[in-house]
Amino acid sequence: MTGTRARWAAAVGAAAAVSALLAATGWLAPPKARPQARQPGGCTILQAENERSGAPTTLRLLSLPGGVTKRVTQAGYWINAMGYSAAQDVVYGVADGTRAGRYHGAHAVRIDAAGVVTDLGVIAKAGPGKPAWSPVTGATAGAIDGTRWYVRQGSDLYTVDIDPAGQDYVRVVHRTALRPVSLAVGVDDFAFDPADGLLYGVSTTSRGNSSVVTLDPSSGKVAVVPGLRFPDGGAYGSVVLAPGALYATANEDGRRSVTYRLPRDGSGQATEVASGPALVSGDAAGCFAEAPPPPPPPPPSTPPSTPPEQSSPPPSTPPEQSSPAPVTPSPEPPPPPRPPPVEKPVVVPPSPEPAPPPPAAVAPAPATSVPPPPPPAPATTPRVRPTKEAKPVVQDTAHRTEEKRRWGLTALLLVLGGGAAVGHVRRHR
C-alpha cells in the first residue's frame, strides 16, 4: 500500500468512526415527522351536505382515501365555511339560518366530536356594542390556523378570533382584500397549510378553470399552482389537505357529488375516491386523526389459579436432555440369581419289547416297603415326581428283564434238547 492509499484509508476510517458516534448520539437520526403528518388512509374529515336551500345540514364523517362515510347528525342549521381547531378539537362553522328561516347576520356554531352543535351568536366586527349584523353572511370558504379562523365572503378574506379566553371571541378582527378577484370569487373552500402559511383551494371561474390556487392571508394574493388541476365541473365546495394529497369534492357532477384525490407533487391526475348525492352547497373540515382504539383491559388483580411454575410453558426437550452437564449412566444391576436346577424324573426310552402291562396288573409292592410320600414342594418350585418312586420301577424293570432272559434261555435249551432227541430217535429208527 502506497503512502497516498494509506492516508485515504486512515481518512475513511476516521469518517466512519465519526458517523457511528453521531448516529449513536442521535445527531444523524432522521427528523421526526410533524404530529399532523399522518397517512392518508387515517385521515378523517367532517363534511356538511346541503341537498337543498335552507336547513337542515347533514353532517357526515368521510374517511380518506377509502371513501367510507358515516352519518353523524342532521343539524338544525344551514352550515358552511367550516374549519377544524386541533387545539380545541372542535369544528367552527358559519350558520346563515335555521329551519325557521335565515338570520339577519350569520352566526358562529361550534360542533364537538359527538356532533353536538352549539350556537355562539352573531359573527360581528370586533369592538364594543351589541352585534346585530355580520360581514361574513353568505360565506362559503373557511379554514383555521391556531386561533385565527379565515372566512371568505365575496372577494374579501376575514379573520375571526376563536380564542375562548379573548375579549373578541368569534368576532371579526381583520379584513384582507383578495386579488385578482377573477380567481378569488370562484374559490368555494380552502385548507390551511402550516408548512408555508398559505390557503389552498380550487377556483372554478373561467380564468381558474378548476385549477388549484393559493391565497396569502397576509397580502390577499391569489395565484394558480402550475400543474395541479381537478376535472371541470361545478363548484368545489369541500377542500382539505392530507399528507401528500389534496382532496376536493365537486358539489354536483351530473346527479351526484364526487370527491377526488390529487397528488400535490403533480405525479398523477385527480382520481375519484368517493361519491354522494348532488349538493346545492357543501363544506369540509379536517383532516383529523381517527379515534384511537381503546386500551387493552388491565390484568386481573386476583392471582392466577395455577402456580407460576405450572403456568410456564414446558421445555421443548426433556430435562435430562436439556441439562448442560453430562449424565453418567448408572451401572446396570447384576442379574438376579438363577433358581437352582430342578431335578427332572428320568425318562426311560421305550424298549423294543412289548410295553409293560398297566399298573393295575403289576403286583404292588408290600405296603411295608413303600415309604410315605414326601411333603409337597413350595408353590414357587415346580412339582416333580420324587426319585424314590422311580427306583422300584427301574429295579422291577431289570428284574423282569433278567427273568425274561432266563425264560428265553430255558426255552432255547428245551428247543435244542427237543431237536437233539428227535434226531436221535430218527437215527435209531
Reported as a single tens digit per residue, the pLDDT across 14-58 is 444 434 443 343 333 333 333 343 444 458 999 999 998 887 999
Domain contains 342: no
Q: Which residue has the higher pLDDT, 305 or 76?
A: 76
Give me the number of domains the chain comprises: 1
Q: SS3 for 289?
A: strand
If we measure between CA atoms, which residue out of 148, 187, 198 comes closest to residue 168?
Answer: 148
**Which of 254-258, 365-369, 388-392 shows the highest mean pLDDT?**
254-258
Sheet architecture: strand order including 57-64: 68-75, 57-64, 43-50, 281-289
Residue 287 pLDDT grade (very low, low, confident, very high; cuts 50, 70, 90): confident
In eight-state DSSP terms, residue 283 is E
Q: What is the pLDDT of residue 141?
A: 98
Cβ contact 212:261 at 8 Å: no
* Contact criterion met (CB below 8 Å) for 217 and 176: yes
Residue (of 16, 3, 39) closest to 244 by Cα position = 39
Beta carbons of 92 and 294 less than 8 angstroms apart: no
CATH at 178:
2.120.10.80
Taking residue 408's Cβ as centre, other Cβ atoms within 10 Å add up to: 10
Whole-Å CA distances, 261 to 206, 231, 232: 22, 11, 14
Q: What is the pLDDT of residue 174?
A: 97
Confidence of residue 406 (pLDDT cuts 50, 70, 90): low
Measured between alpha carbons, how far is residue 411 from residues 27, 353, 401, 417 in Å?
137, 17, 15, 10
Q: Are strands 68-75 and 77-85 parallel, antiparallel or unpaired?
A: unpaired
DSSP reduced 3-state for 395: helix
Nearest to 92 by CA among 163, 17, 187: 163
pLDDT in tens, 173-193: 999 999 999 999 999 999 999
Collapse the DSSP code of 365 into the 3-class scheme (helix H, G, I; strand E, B; otherwise coil) and give the result.
coil
pLDDT value, residue 135: 94
Report if residue 368 sits inside a domain.
no
**The pLDDT value given to residue 81:** 98
Distances (CA, A) of 212 to 151, 187, 229, 257: 18, 9, 6, 19
The stretch 317-322 carries a mean pLDDT of 43
Q: Which residue has the higher pLDDT, 99 or 294?
A: 99
For the beta sheet containing 156-161, the strands, ordered from the edge strand earlier in sequence to the opposite edge, are 124-125, 171-177, 156-161, 148-153, 141-145
**Residue 169 cell numbers, joined:** 371571541
pLDDT of residue 98: 93
Average pLDDT of the residues in 191-215 = 94
78-82, 198-202, 206-210, 341-345: the lowest-pLDDT one:
341-345
Kindly report each contact of residues 99-106 with a partner whose C-beta sits within 8 Å and lies 24 or more positions away, as own/partner.
Answer: 99/54, 99/55, 99/56, 101/54, 102/54, 102/78, 103/134, 103/137, 104/132, 104/133, 105/131, 105/132, 105/133, 105/134, 105/137, 106/134, 106/136, 106/137, 106/138, 106/139
Pick from 17-21, 68-72, 266-270: least confident: 17-21
Domain enclosing residue 262, as ranges: 40-289
| % residues pLDDT > 70 (the chain) | 58
pLDDT tens string 131-155: 778 999 999 999 999 999 999 999 9
CA dihedral 363, 365, 366, 371 (to 10 degrees): -150
Confirm whether 23 is domain-assigned: no
pLDDT for 257 equals 95
Give 114's Cβ-side CA count (13 Å radius): 2
Task: Say if 83 falls within a structural domain.
Answer: yes
Q: What is the pLDDT of residue 414?
A: 65
Q: What is residue 8's three-state secondary structure?
A: helix
Contact (Cβ atoms closer than 8 angstroms) between residue 49 and residue 279: yes
Q: Is residue 335 part of a domain?
A: no
| Burial class of residue 138, CB neighbours in 10 A (0-12, 13-18, 19+) | middle
User: Where is pLDDT greater, at 349 or 106?
Assistant: 106
pLDDT at 245 over 80: yes
Identify whether 224 is part of a domain: yes
- CA dihedral in degrees (67, 71, 77, 79; nearest 10)? -10
Closest CA to 74 of 103, 54, 104: 54
CA separation for the pair 273, 64 (Å, rounded): 8
Determine the longest span between alpha carbons in the chain, in angstroms: 197
Q: In the predicted model, is pLDDT for residue 84 greater than 90? A: yes
Confidence of residue 346 (pLDDT cuts 50, 70, 90): very low
| CA–CA gap between residue 94 and residue 142 (Å, rounded) | 9
56 inside domain: yes
Higher pLDDT: 426 or 318? It is: 426
Category of 72 on φ-ψ map: left (φ > 0), alpha (ψ -120 to 50) or beta? alpha
**Average pLDDT value over all residues in the chain:** 75
In this structure, what C-alpha cell is assigned to residue 344? Answer: 427332572
Best-predicted range by mean pLDDT (39-53, 216-230, 331-345, 359-373): 216-230
Query: What confidence score (pLDDT) does residue 420 get?
Result: 52
Tell me, yes or no, whether 16 lies in a domain: no
The pLDDT value recorded for residue 375 is: 53
